[in-house]
Amino acid sequence: MKRANSFEVIPQSDEDGELLRRLLDASAALWNEINYERRENYADPDGDVWDISEYRGRYGGTLGASTVQQIERKNREAWKSFFSLKKKGEANGKPGFWGNEDEGRELRTYIRNTSYSVEWGEYSRLEILVGKDLKDDYGLGHRERLRLEVRGDPSWQEYEKQGRLELFYDEQAQTFRAFQPVTISENQSRLAQPLASEEAALDIGANNLVACTTTTGQQLLYEGRDLFERFRETTREIARLQSLLEDGRYSSHRIRRLYDRRTKRRDHSQDALARDLIERLYDEGVSTVYVGALTDVLETHWSVETNAKTHNFWAFKAFVNRLACTAEEYGMSVEIRSEAWTSQECPNCGSTEDTTRHRDTLTCPCGFEGHADLTASETFLRRHQNASSSGWRTRREASRQRQATVTRSMARPVCLKWDDHDWSESPRSVPNEEHTNPQVASVGR
């Protein structure tokens, strides 16, 4: 099973820091040369994107032959991904450059799994291979590697195999960081076991990122409006700066930094959401989590703004992967299921044609009124609960079964907001919560 460690890397001296910067800068220069050659070949009707020059002779003295190979391989993977997305009609541009010499390159490199080692302990350290020229310039021995301090609390200090190390300079934090992919055994992945066999269903929305209902009667709502507004503000600024570029230019150092900042903010909030949600569900005794399929979300939400959220901001597949990896640590499973029509279905009478959704409220002529996303997660959970026990038939049969189901009282919904560091419980109640009939909007087992 694949996992990853993330940690901070600290040069032990100014000289080591200078050496590391030269290594990363040379890696970025190599990437740019390879990428430029492939772009030229792509534009040439008779060119072959995969036919590139030999770069080991020029860069091997600085990077080492194995790192040159890894940069070439990483660039090849980027082009393969581009062609795959292009075939699906989803490509949004050819692989880009890592900055330039005038405006500053993105300091980044990739180290082969056999060309580095990490030792964990009171004084953790990372050792990486560098080229002979850098060794001579900085007085390293022929077999000596660059030794760097490591700070952080990695989740996986014991593993069966380590993958290619990604090492980069984080401009926002003003520090070097590393990602270490590792392979762990299935036994290692199960750090805990579910406390019970409860279930939960997640409704992934456009304004509220996640609405969750559990079979214990707990409800969680993770608000996303503020997060998306910041994402959209950064997107507007990127568009403004792009409009000021000279003809023939497509990006700048400032634009790339904004893209990087926007992505890191989004990923940080979603990583934290997955962790916070799974820990709360574990405490509830949940063993199975149902997540709605992305196709259902896209079919339901069709506006330009909403699709910007689901396509660009949400990064649905990446979030579900994070969720599944985190759930696995607690012995929980994540299952992708259809949630079609759950956002329009009344939990009282089962109608989908007569209900009305306005912002966060779902109403029905039968008298039901409740929070739309939380109601959708309740319906989603009940649907798959019933399907697993007696088979899903018609809405009318489901309605009769709904009425016959023994209900549990719903707890007061917990509303959570992002404060740039954690998901914190909001003191206000969920909108329209007081209008929901607890007897027809609760989930039974």
- With a cut of 70, say whether residue 387 has pLDDT above it: no
DSSP 3-state assignment of 386? helix
Residue 359: what pLDDT?
76
pLDDT digits (tens, 9 = 90+) for 393-438: 444 454 444 443 434 556 688 999 998 778 999 875 555 444 444 4
Residue boundaries of the structural domains of the chain: 2-189, 198-226+258-435
Q: Which residues contact 275 (CB under 8 A, 6 or more apart)?
A: 326
Band the pLDDT of 301: cuts 50, 70, 90: very low
Residue 396: what pLDDT?
46
Q: State the fold for domain 198-226+258-435.
A: Nucleotidyltransferase; domain 5 (3.30.420)
- With a cut of 70, say whether residue 392 has pLDDT above it: no
pLDDT digits (tens, 9 = 90+) for 304-328: 455 555 556 667 778 888 898 888 8
Mean of the pLDDT values across residues 221-239?
89
pLDDT digits (tens, 9 = 90+) for 51-72: 999 999 999 999 999 999 999 9
Residue 299: what pLDDT?
46
Looking at the DSSP assignment, which residues form a beta bridge with residue 179?
6, 166
DSSP 3-state assignment of 80? helix
More confident residue, 408 or 150: 150
Mean of the pLDDT values across residues 357-366?
83
- Alpha helix stretches (DSSP H) within 5-155: 14-43, 56-63, 65-88, 132-138
Please give the radius of gyration of the chain, using alpha carbons only, rounded to the nearest integer: 26
Residue 409: what pLDDT?
54
Cβ–Cβ under 8 Å, residues 213 and 377: yes
Residue 351: what pLDDT?
79
More confident residue, 145 or 437: 145
Contacts of 276-281 with CB under 8 Å at 24 or more apart are 276/416, 276/422, 276/423, 277/202, 277/210, 277/212, 277/220, 277/222, 277/323, 278/323, 278/326, 278/327, 278/329, 278/330, 278/332, 279/330, 280/218, 280/220, 281/200, 281/212, 281/214, 281/332
More confident residue, 399 or 236: 236
Residue 398: what pLDDT?
47
Let me know the angle formed at the C-alpha of 329 by 327 and 330, rounded to the nearest 5 degrees.
Answer: 70
Q: How far is CA 47 from the centre of its chain?
A: 36
Mean of the pLDDT values across residues 339-358?
79
Query: Which of the listed ranges 190-194, 275-279, 292-296 does the model predict with the highest average pLDDT?
Result: 275-279
Mean pLDDT over each residue of the chain, to the nearest integer: 82
Band the pLDDT of 179: cuts 50, 70, 90: very high
Read off the pTM.
Answer: 0.66
Percent of the chain, pLDDT > 70?
83
More confident residue, 104 or 130: 130
Mean of the pLDDT values across residues 115-129?
92
Residue 188: what pLDDT?
59
Separation of alpha carbons 25 and 71, rounded Å: 12
Cβ–Cβ under 8 Å, residues 442 and 381: no
Half-sphere exposure of 212 (CA within 13 A, CB side): 27
- With a cut of 80, say whether residue 221 has pLDDT above it: yes
More confident residue, 149 or 99: 149
More confident residue, 72 or 102: 72
DSSP 3-state assignment of 27? helix
Residue 330: what pLDDT?
85
Residue 132, token pair as written in the block:
């002979």
